[in-house]
Amino acid sequence: MRSELLDVPGNPVPDGAVCEVIETRDRVRLRTARWMPEPGRLRGTVTLLQGRAEFIEKYFETISDLRARGFAVVTFDWRGQGGSQRLTRNSRRGHVSDMSRFVTDLETVLDKVTLASMPGPHYALAHSTGGLVLLLGGARLRTRFERAVVTSPLIGLGPVGLSQPVVCRLSNLLARIGFSRAFVPGGRGRLRFSFEGNPLTSDERRFRRSDAIVTEAPDLEIGAPTIGWLAAACRAMNKVLGRDFGPAYRLPTLVIAAGQDRIVSPRAAERFVRQTRVTSFLEIAGARHELLMEDDLYRDQTLAAFDAFVDDSEPVATPVRMAAGEEIS
């Protein structure tokens, strides 16, 4: 595993980073990093939860933006990816058999880093798979976070050719008969897209920056999901969309969906929000999956929505869709 942070041209490590390797109760080592805010007003701490196949270095720009806003920041790499401990013989698989293992990662970081070392109040900012993990742990996290913002959450799959129920049934079947650690059909050990037509971002500079990091440090990269990972994600998504889950969810949360998302389903995210009482929904028209890596037109809206939500005293209950460039009041 990699304990230090990687500094590459165009993506410097924000000043003041404190890196630490911590161990979960099931003895998995996680790479963590934390920063205090830039001098000035202290607004609390944001714990930043990445998506699948991501790593701390990819979020240096967002970390700097949060620090400039007065937030301390804590972030970490999930087990099996980035600089944290890999759990399979082929380190590029990033396999997990149950999404609750990621909840264990989050709770460990909160206990050993966020709540142990950083100032309150505490907020969460989660992306994609990180959003799913946050929702799964919501019952216990309500007493630890004041509010949470989730971008492009993995609550439903985007266009995959087959319907989601078929994909989930097939992945569960294949996992049960011994193919859990195999890549999903067509998957391989590298996840590389050309910029043209990529499903992640319309911003070429940020796209090239992410690619440069894994070119410099290929040990941070993982490939396609395993069949077992997909089966675990399906079980978790079904749980979050279950009849009893939404009404019992108590952590005030803003869900921000990308209107042109081809990785996850904005409609599934909206369905989840309609089943809850303390959750709000915002859709940014025209944006692709990685809202925090998108063109400024979309990214600025995402950060403005974050600012408004964490500063507000009451969550807005009405789902909203925003057109590109529309101002957030």
pLDDT in tens, the chain (329 residues): 788 899 999 999 999 999 999 999 999 999 999 999 998 889 999 999 999 999 999 999 999 999 999 999 999 999 999 999 998 888 888 789 999 999 999 999 999 999 999 999 999 999 999 999 999 998 889 999 999 999 999 999 998 767 889 999 999 999 999 999 999 988 888 877 899 999 999 999 999 999 999 999 999 999 999 999 999 999 999 999 999 999 999 999 999 999 999 999 999 999 999 999 999 999 999 999 999 999 999 999 999 999 999 997 554 444 445 444 454 44
Residue 15 burial (C-beta neighbours within 10 Å; 0-12, 13-18, 19+) = exposed
Residue among 288, 25, 6, 255 at smallest CA distance from 155: 255
Rounded Cα distance between 192 and 258, Å, is 21
Q: Which DSSP helix (H) or strand (E) runs through 101?
A: helix 100-109
Say what the alpha-carbon torsion angle 45, 51, 52, 58 is, to the nearest 10 degrees. -80
Domains annotated on the chain, with CATH:
18-322 (3.40.50.1820)
